């Protein structure tokens, strides 16, 4: 199975057609969350969406292109979610760091079921992995741009490198949690909320030399 990072799907022009397309995407998402890529068949999607098999084929072609569309749809939602969550209550440096770290971690938590499917698929599908990498790099740019005001306050020879390392730390930690769960690497229970709080503390100390407030 392979997907392409860019799609050439026919635009849904009319309101009814757009609604049908959205129902198909929602049905495909639900099937992926419930059973992974094995559960994603054109027939199953059509049945879940309440449309004909031909309707799915007309809009998305085969299963590979439908999977690609679902991955792009998830990425669009993921990016919008990050931007929405990057909303600090205060503008002091530690509050900005806390907002960025919390926003990224909470976005992973919110999308973990579907994210797990695409992370697992990317291990064997180069096209899925390529699209996922592009999305991760895009999230990195959003993260760095949000923390740009604190870069002059970072006491390090390469402050931008430190911001990048913090992103990599959160990205890797969250992906590991999404893929393997809470107790894969340690027998100490650690909820998403606790993990996020600890990551905020680590990031504030590493970037600013100050504890989170």
Whether residue 176 sits in one domain with residue 84: yes
For residue 134, give its domain range: 70-208
Whether residue 144 sits in one domain with residue 80: yes
Q: Give the count of domains, the chain.
A: 2
Domain boundary among 49, 66, 83: 66
Alpha-carbon distance of 17 to 88, in angstroms, equals 39
DSSP characters over 79-120: HHHHHHH---SS-SHHHHHHHHHHHHHHHHHHTHHHHHHHHH
CB 200 within 8 Å of CB 193: no
| Domain annotation covers residue 140 | yes
| Alpha-carbon distance values, 156 to 27, 171, 185 (Å) | 49, 22, 31
pTM of the model as a whole: 0.86
CATH of residue 28: 1.10.10.60
Ordered per-residue pLDDT tens for the chain, 213 residues? 444 444 555 555 577 788 999 999 999 999 999 999 999 999 999 999 999 999 999 999 899 999 999 999 999 999 999 989 887 767 899 999 999 999 999 999 999 999 999 999 999 999 999 999 999 999 999 999 999 999 999 999 999 999 999 999 999 999 999 999 999 999 999 999 999 999 999 999 999 999 987
């Amino acid at each position: 199975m392979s997907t392409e990072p860019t799609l050439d799907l026919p635009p849904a022009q009319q309101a009814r057609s757009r609604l049908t397309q959205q129902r198909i995407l929602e049905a495909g998402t639900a099937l992926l969350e419930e059973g992974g890529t094995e559960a994603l068949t054109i027939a199953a999607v059509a049945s879940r969406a309440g449309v004909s098999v031909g309707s799915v084929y007309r809009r998305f072609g085969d299963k590979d292109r439908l999977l690609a569309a679902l991955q792009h749809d998830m990425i669009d939602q993921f990016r919008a979610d990050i931007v929405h969550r990057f909303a600090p209550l205060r503008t002091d440096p530690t509050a900005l760091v806390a907002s960025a770290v919390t926003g990224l971690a909470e976005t992973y938590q919110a999308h973990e079921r579907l994210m797990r499917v695409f992370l697992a698929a990317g291990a064997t599908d180069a096209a899925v992995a390529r699209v996922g990498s592009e999305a991760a790099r895009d999230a990195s740019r959003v993260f760095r741009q949000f923390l740009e005001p604190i870069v002059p306050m970072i006491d390090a020879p390469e402050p931008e490198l430190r911001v990048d390392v913090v992103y990599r730390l959160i990205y890797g930690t969250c992906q590991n949690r999404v893929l393997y769960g809470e107790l894969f690497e340690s027998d100490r229970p650690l909820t998403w909320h606790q993990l996020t709080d600890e990551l905020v503390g680590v990031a504030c100390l590493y970037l600013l030399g100050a504890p989170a407030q």
